[in-house]
Structure 1
Amino acid sequence: MAATIKDIAKLAHVSIATVSRILSDRTESHTEETIARVRKAAKELAYQKNTAAIELVTKKSNVVAVIVSATPTNFSNQIIDGIQKKAAKHHLAVIILYAGENNTELQRKALQTVAERSVMGILLLAINLSPANLKFLTKSTIPFVFLALSFQDKTIPFIASDDFQIAYQATNFLISKGHRKIGLAAADFHISYTGYRRLAGYQKAMQEHQLQLVPDWVQDGNYSYQSGRRAIQAYMKNTQVTAVIANSDLAAMGVANQALDFGLSIPNDLSIISIDGTDFCTMFRPQLTSMTQSFYEMGSQGIDCLLNRKLSTAAQRFTAVSIQERESVKNI
């Protein structure tokens, strides 16, 4: 029969909790002699760590479940990096589950998989859950936090950028560069809360400067490369904007490449500012000026929220955004 932490505790003359902490490398409160005795006992018993058994005894889990979606954007890796590094500092394990793109069935399967296992909490990356799946999640007893997605509902915990401020600041930046005909492209402005807030920020900045709001300047999309291309096609048919706010880096690349196909020069004929600010901005030519979001920090703070368990009143935090000026915006 395989050795257990109870066997090690008995052989080393310490408590089960002490064995659990030492074997999990949480040794700060123990003497070198105790640590050596526990590790020697584990070696003598040929102990193989059984996480499930430890959690059963201690009634605690050190596993964080991360549910990801197939978004047409590219920032998830930065968030996961922030999660993994903060989790490692606290000796937490991370499991990742896939929920597809707006796929209610895969969402439910991911949530059920987590609910049937011992996890300390759930982090959901930019996932728009269906109403039924959101209800399933909120009725569970597992702490959770949405990342890179905000909510109007004050009871839902999230860590995200302020989408109103993103679009408001981007629009004001372009206005400060002399632009008056500004397009807003490639987001679901009339479907999601994210798109709704960005549209509101754009409209507010334009109105404050008494600039005309032309319906054709707002082109819906799904944050993808292709929706960026479609936006510039629409602009060329209906109206000639001098600058475009693209709602993801991939969408900005789509706008730029389609503009180049039409014979336009970036930024001489068309200025572009991208929302996200991932590595794609510096890999593209010309390098894309961006509203850069703190994706790594979202992931890191997500772990902090689960560790602090301050979720009785929903934790709703906005992380910093900044303008990174590169090569795609011209002063006119």
Structure 2
Amino acid sequence: MNPTIKDVAKHANVSIATVSRIVNGLPGYSEETKKKVQQSIEALGYQPNAIARGLINKRTQTIGVLFPDVSGMLSSEVLQGIENAAHDGGFSVIVCNTTSSGKRTVKYLRLLQEKRVDGIIFASEDVKEEYYKIFQEMKVPVVLVSTASAKYDLPFVRVNDFDGAFQATEYLIQKGHKVIGMIGGSDEDPIAGVPRMQGFQKALESNGLIYTKNHITKNEGYRFQNGKESLPQLLKELPSMTALFAASDEMAIGAMSAAHQLGIRVPEELSIIGYDNLKIAEMCYPPLTTVSQPLKDMGQTSGEMLVSMIKGEKQEAKSRYMPFTIVERQSVSDFHDK
């Protein structure tokens, strides 16, 4: 038979009302009493009724997280940070895979509205008007991670992608490379696609190097296959290219695979730098030099921000640009003119 709140009260030698206040995060007890009740809960294996608890504190202790691609390596690292923060704050996480589909995103937002989640973390996608209207209807805090909105005033946690791309390109320039190409995202992607391509272009122009539209191949996605298919196209446009900046690690590793098939040695004949610093970046050969986004920390920070807003500890959260670094491995070498 499962233990009840009455059993916990008897075990801790306190009233049922005191146990209820502690379980539901309400005030009116000492730290010593709280500790004693928590020990009794643990000893008896008591599980509070989530529905009843929600009726008392008006919360379901759940947060909704929407990703455009939960199978991506980037998403898994961000999600790990979010779940750590949610668990520490006493919340559970409902994860929704939107596949960057507007209809599916709306469907999941309606589902989260029905589930009465206490807050939402919205990741890696542009906030459309139809999404924002549902956010307002739900009247719960919303935090963006690995994205931002120019149109709506929503707090975000992300890296400055323009600066990251600029520094990645300048790193290659400092290694002596002058003909540098880029495997980029899409012009339709204002979150990562456009700013990373703009950062690349600005770095070339700021250092007096030639830039044309042929210096970039554009893609709808950031996956391995996009990089693998893009490298041969880029080499046709820039046959003298000695260095490459890829807008994601998966793209960079795809390009390395294509280079191997074409008999091009990395980094001796082609230097490659990626973006993200996924775990796979140090597992490939040669290990990938890349722009490191603190993905887990970004998830953790966004989760902590949302939990604080839900609990009323913060009325408004301040957006945060997280620091990035270039992690040097073995896929980039100094340029030596033959």
- TM-score range with shorter-chain normalisation? 0.7 to 0.9
Match in the other structure for 2:36: 35
Q: Over residues 110-155 of structure 1, what are the superposed CA-to-partner deviations in whole Å (9 max), with x where a residue is unaligned? A: 1111111232211122234544223322443011111111232361
Aligned partner letter, 2:95: I
The alignment partner of 1:326 has SS state of coil
Match in the other structure for 1:162: 160
Match in the other structure for 2:198: 200
Selected match of 1:317 from 320, 324, 327? 320
2:112 counterpart of 1:114: yes
Aligned partner letter, 1:185: I
CA distance in 2, matches of 1:153, 1:47: 46
CA distance in 1, matches of 2:251, 2:127: 23
| CA-CA distance at 1:231 after TM superposition | 1.7
CA distance in 1, matches of 2:40, 2:96: 34
Match in the other structure for 2:97: 98
Selected match of 2:330 from 312, 315, 327? 327
Identity %: 26
Q: Residues 188 and 36 from structure 1, CA distance in 2 versus in 1: closer, same or farther, beyond 3 angstroms?
A: closer
CA distance in 2, matches of 1:159, 1:37: 34
Q: Over residues 197-254 of structure 1, what are the superposed CA-to-partner deviations in whole Å (9 max), with x where a residue is unaligned? A: 1122112211111111021111101212121122211122221221111111110111
Asked whether the 8 Å contact 1:102–1:129 carries over to 2, the reply is: no
List aligned pairs for 1:43-54, cutoff 5 A.
Answer: 48-54=47-53
Q: Residues 60 and 7 from structure 1, CA distance in 2 versus in 1: closer, same or farther, beyond 3 angstroms?
A: farther
CA distance in 2, matches of 1:34, 1:147: 35
CA distance in 2, matches of 1:33, 1:254: 54
Aligned partner letter, 1:232: L
Q: Residues 28 and 279 from structure 1, CA distance in 2 versus in 1: closer, same or farther, beyond 3 angstroms?
A: farther
CA distance in 2, matches of 1:133, 1:154: 11
Q: Residues 3 and 214 from structure 1, CA distance in 2 versus in 1: closer, same or farther, beyond 3 angstroms?
A: same
Asked whether the 8 Å contact 2:126–2:191 carries over to 1, the reply is: no
Q: Residues 33 and 49 from structure 1, CA distance in 2 versus in 1: closer, same or farther, beyond 3 angstroms?
A: closer
CA distance in 2, matches of 1:257, 1:321: 26
Q: Residues 37 and 48 from structure 1, CA distance in 2 versus in 1: closer, same or farther, beyond 3 angstroms?
A: closer
CA distance in 2, matches of 1:233, 1:319: 34
The alignment partner of 2:84 has SS state of helix
Q: Residues 139 and 165 from structure 1, CA distance in 2 versus in 1: closer, same or farther, beyond 3 angstroms?
A: farther
Match in the other structure for 1:307: 307
Match in the other structure for 2:74: 75
2:305 counterpart of 1:293: no
RMSD (Å), alpha carbons: 3.1
Q: Over residues 27-71 of structure 1, what are the superposed CA-to-partner deviations in whole Å (9 max), with x where a residue is unaligned? A: 99432598359948x96xx96521121011122342222222226
Normalising by structure 1, what TM-score? 0.87
Match in the other structure for 1:280: 280
CA distance in 2, matches of 1:299, 1:73: 15
CA distance in 2, matches of 1:170, 1:108: 36
Aligned partner letter, 1:152: A
Name whichever of 90-99 and 15-24 sits farther off: 15-24
CA distance in 2, matches of 1:208, 1:275: 21
Asked whether the 8 Å contact 1:155–1:314 carries over to 2, the reply is: no
Asked whether the 8 Å contact 1:167–1:201 carries over to 2, the reply is: yes
List aligned pairs for 1:133-144, cutoff 5 A.
Answer: 133-144=131-142
| Structure 2 stretches lacking a partner, 5+ long | none
CA distance in 1, matches of 2:30, 2:163: 45
Asked whether the 8 Å contact 1:122–1:143 carries over to 2, the reply is: yes
Q: Residues 47 and 308 from structure 1, CA distance in 2 versus in 1: closer, same or farther, beyond 3 angstroms?
A: closer
Q: Over residues 307-332 of structure 1, what are the superposed CA-to-partner deviations in whole Å (9 max), with x where a residue is unaligned? A: 33287656321111100000100101
CA distance in 2, matches of 1:30, 1:248: 48
The alignment partner of 1:83 has SS state of helix
Match in the other structure for 1:146: 144
How many positions carry a matched residue from both structures?
Answer: 326
| CA-CA distance at 1:156 after TM superposition | 2.3
Q: Residues 16 and 211 from structure 1, CA distance in 2 versus in 1: closer, same or farther, beyond 3 angstroms?
A: farther
Asked whether the 8 Å contact 1:152–1:193 carries over to 2, the reply is: no
Match in the other structure for 1:243: 243
The alignment partner of 1:94 has SS state of strand
Aligned partner letter, 2:171: F
